[in-house]
Structure 1
Amino acid sequence: MTDASTLPDSLAFTKALIDAESITPARGAVFDVLEAALKPLGFAIDRFTVGEAPDGPVENLLATRGSGAPHFAFAGHLDVVPPGKGWTTDPFRAEQRGALLYGRGAVDMKGAVAAFVAALARALPDHGTVSLIITGDEEGPAVYGTRALIDRMRERGIAPDFCLIGEPTSVNRLGDTIKIGRRGSVNIWITVPGHQGHVAYPHLADNPIPKLVRALADIDAIVLDEGTDWFQASNIEVTDLEVGNTAHNVIPGAAQARLSIRFNDLHRGTELVERIERAVHVHTPDAEVKGIVSGESFLTEPGRLSDILSDAIEDHAGIRPELSTSGGTSDGRFLHALCPVVEFGLLNATMHKLDEAVAVADLAMLTDIYESVLKRAFTR
């Protein structure tokens, strides 16, 4: 039986995680802190580092305890974005001032990791399986992070029944929003070739800019959809235009543009790239169109998992959360291939900002909610 004096406390544990600097991609000390908290709880720890520069190396941790069904997984990340300049105090030295705890990662998402581990210490199930899927690269390229963890789980035959991601989903107060899906994301680069020449002799050159502008006008007129019951409308945004021409009297040899598309579950990323390619080639058949799909859209239909979480939130926060698919992407875009996924965590108001902070009371309540979720998930 675990000694109560050694059980993780969510506040102290959050401080310890913040103090372990872990700018993405994270490795080393911050994983030592997590491993040290999980081992006394009986978890088997699998830490591994994968990948090469520029997107690696990345450290990941897979912790498992128990066997059989049900299998409840918690997923998260220990890497953080660079702090930037202008913090009131050291961003990697947790500091409590009044009701708030300051430090990079306090809400995104070391606080949630700490709260879940503290909840486990109070509510370890006596049957079934619990796992933690923790990456050191969610904030960066995410090439060797959760995707590598999923590969590892498949190699070992580990298959959760459902997964809770501790991303900061709350907007105005803890518990007001949980995510049951996310839109997909694809970035597209367009390069239109031309033939450089003097502006006074346009017949001896080929200006790529008008062709690119006409193609972008057609793309801007595309209406992908009007949204669905759970998703807002998909949107295409031009995020960059570049010619690189420093001379006023030269027709450039090429012109480039970049698009970003956030799309709902009516679309697939590769199909959107092909659609953009067709639109561009109407005006310039020799243009190069390259797309990278960051993640496909996914939806976890409301059901037992969202009900368990919503009931736990209502019990402790006194509100029924909104089920949402808003916001950017998360590692749910990978994990949903394993099992149903929902996301719930702290207030997102200060994530990625200077003086990121979490309310100490919210850490305590989040721990209570996670504890309640665990008890409900493992009810026979």
Structure 2
Amino acid sequence: MPSSPLDPARLTAELIRCPSVTPEEGGALQLLDEILTGAGFACTRVNRGGVANLFARWGPKGAERTFGFNGHTDVVPVGDEAAWSVPPFGAVEKDGMLWGRGATDMKSGVAAFVAAAVDFVAETPPDGAVILAITGDEEGDAVDGTRALLDWMDENDERMSACIVGEPTCPDRMGEMIKIGRRGSLSAWITLTGVQGHSAYPHRAKNPLPAMARLMDRMASHTLDEGTEHFDPSTLAVVTIDTGNPATNVIPAQCRATVNIRFNDAHDSASLIACIQAEIGRVAAEFGVTGEMQVKVSGESFLTPPGPLSDLVARAVEAETGATPVLSTTGGTSDARFVKDHCPVVEFGLVGQTMHQVDERVEIDQIHQLKAVYTQILRDYFT
């Protein structure tokens, strides 16, 4: 057991110094494994597909009440290192900030819940169990990260009763937002094929470009919905249209486009895919071309309805920050989309203004605040 409280800011700095760009472990999970094992947690490395993951449990397996935290230690690439004012993995402290890749997203969140869990079980051993599920594959394809941990837990009869994902959730001020759900995400790669020909003789060709322009206009102009009780309206973004044609006297045979849809709980991916396919069929018939589509679904929309878990987190946030958090479903996807199939889940973490940016940084005081919030949540949950 640690003789003094575990400093979450110092632990964040140690994690930043681990160059854990997805899928490299970089020493981050090894560091956490050593700390948690020393604090009495039963640790298991759940590695899959070349990805390192860490499962840690304090308390009895199969406990009736088991509170969990989920997070990741992998980070996005640094980009142009010359554009940084500090070494990206240097964990420099200046101006009350801790600087480095992963400072916000989300080594600070992992450090805060690790420090909270270690100190909590040492000071007031709970009647139950605390589980930490930490992945090295959140910023990548996320196939062998939290999914692997949850698969392993199912196979080994490990269970969380409730879980917090420690992603940054606050837009501007510490404590202002809790995420109780996320929109789904779907990307579609569409190809329309006509007949190549000379641009001086368009009647001898079948040009897929006007067809694609019509298709993209129809899709982008269509209102998917007006929003639901807990979600903003769904959105469709056209992200690229391309032929790869350098010639001005050639009508190309193919045109490709990609769209991304962020959808609320008025839809599921299957219904949206069917709608897109139907629209492709209509335009293809209208222009005499053929169409095909490939789709990747990154996650379905989900909601943890406001209730005991969000109330528990909100009380702790208000007690430690003085802010009354709003319950939100905004933003992109997170690993909560996987955890929601295992147990009730919400997200709460730091202010995320600089995540993925050059000179990523976090207020050191906020890291300590976050540990205090997580500690209060554990106290209230097991009281």
Q: Is TM-score (shorter-chain normalized) higher than 0.5?
A: yes
Measured after TM superposition, the shift of residue 290 of structure 1 is 1.5
Preserved CA contact (<8 Å) 2:117 2:130: no
In structure 2, the residue matched to 1:4 is: 3
Q: Tell whether 2:223 aligns with 1:244.
A: no
In structure 1, the residue matched to 2:184 is: 184
Q: Tell whether 2:72 aligns with 1:73.
A: no
Amino acid at match of 2:72: H
State the secondary structure of the residue aligned to 2:52.
strand
In structure 2, the residue matched to 1:160 is: 160
Q: Tell whether 2:330 aligns with 1:333.
A: no
In structure 2, the residue matched to 1:54 is: none
Give runs of aligned pairs for residues 5-24 of structure 1, distance below 5 A. Answer: 5=4, 7-24=5-22
Give runs of aligned pairs for residues 1-380 of structure 1, distance below 5 A. Answer: 2-5=1-4, 7-51=5-49, 57-67=50-60, 68-85=63-80, 86-124=83-121, 125-284=125-284, 286-379=290-383
Distance 1:159 1:310 in 2: 24
Measured after TM superposition, the shift of residue 161 of structure 1 is 1.0
Amino acid at match of 2:337: R
Distance 2:148 2:95 in 1: 40
State the secondary structure of the residue aligned to 1:352.
coil
Distance 1:144 1:126 in 2: 31
Which moved further from structure 2: 12-21 or 212-221?
212-221
Which moved further from structure 2: 152-161 or 255-264?
152-161
Distance 1:113 1:3 in 2: 18
- Shift of the 98–216 alpha-carbon distance from structure 1 to 2, 3 Å rule, reads closer
Preserved CA contact (<8 Å) 2:70 2:166: yes
- Shift of the 187–3 alpha-carbon distance from structure 1 to 2, 3 Å rule, reads closer
Measured after TM superposition, the shift of residue 44 of structure 1 is 1.2
Preserved CA contact (<8 Å) 1:26 1:78: no
Measured after TM superposition, the shift of residue 73 of structure 1 is 0.8
Measured after TM superposition, the shift of residue 200 of structure 1 is 1.9
Distance 2:95 2:283 in 1: 61
Preserved CA contact (<8 Å) 1:273 1:290: no
Distance 1:3 1:159 in 2: 26
Which structure 1 residue ranges, 4+ long, deviate > 4 Å from structure 2?
none
- Shift of the 149–3 alpha-carbon distance from structure 1 to 2, 3 Å rule, reads closer
User: CA offsets per residue over residues 117-159 of structure 1, 9 Å max, x none?
Assistant: 1111221142211111111111111121111111111111122
Distance 2:33 2:245 in 1: 53
Distance 1:182 1:215 in 2: 28
Distance 2:111 2:220 in 1: 44
Distance 2:238 2:58 in 1: 47
User: CA offsets per residue over residues 166-199 of structure 1, 9 Å max, x none?
Assistant: 0001122111111000000000011001111111
Measured after TM superposition, the shift of residue 49 of structure 1 is 2.3
State the secondary structure of the residue aligned to 1:24.
coil
Measured after TM superposition, the shift of residue 212 of structure 1 is 1.5
Preserved CA contact (<8 Å) 1:23 1:81: yes
Measured after TM superposition, the shift of residue 8 of structure 1 is 2.5
Distance 1:236 1:358 in 2: 32
Uncovered stretches (5+) of structure 1, i.e. residues with no partner = 52-56
Distance 2:201 2:170 in 1: 60
Preserved CA contact (<8 Å) 1:107 1:350: yes
Q: Please give the root-mean-square deviation of Cα atoms over the aligned residues, in Å.
A: 1.2
Between Structure 1 and Structure 2, how many residues are aligned? 372
Which moved further from structure 2: 273-282 or 23-32?
23-32
Measured after TM superposition, the shift of residue 217 of structure 1 is 2.1
State the secondary structure of the residue aligned to 1:223.
coil
Measured after TM superposition, the shift of residue 356 of structure 1 is 1.1
User: CA offsets per residue over residues 271-303 of structure 1, 9 Å max, x none?
Assistant: 211110100110115300121110000101111
State the secondary structure of the residue aligned to 1:293.
strand
Measured after TM superposition, the shift of residue 28 of structure 1 is 4.7
Uncovered stretches (5+) of structure 2, i.e. residues with no partner = none
Scaled by the length of structure 2, what TM-score is found? 0.95
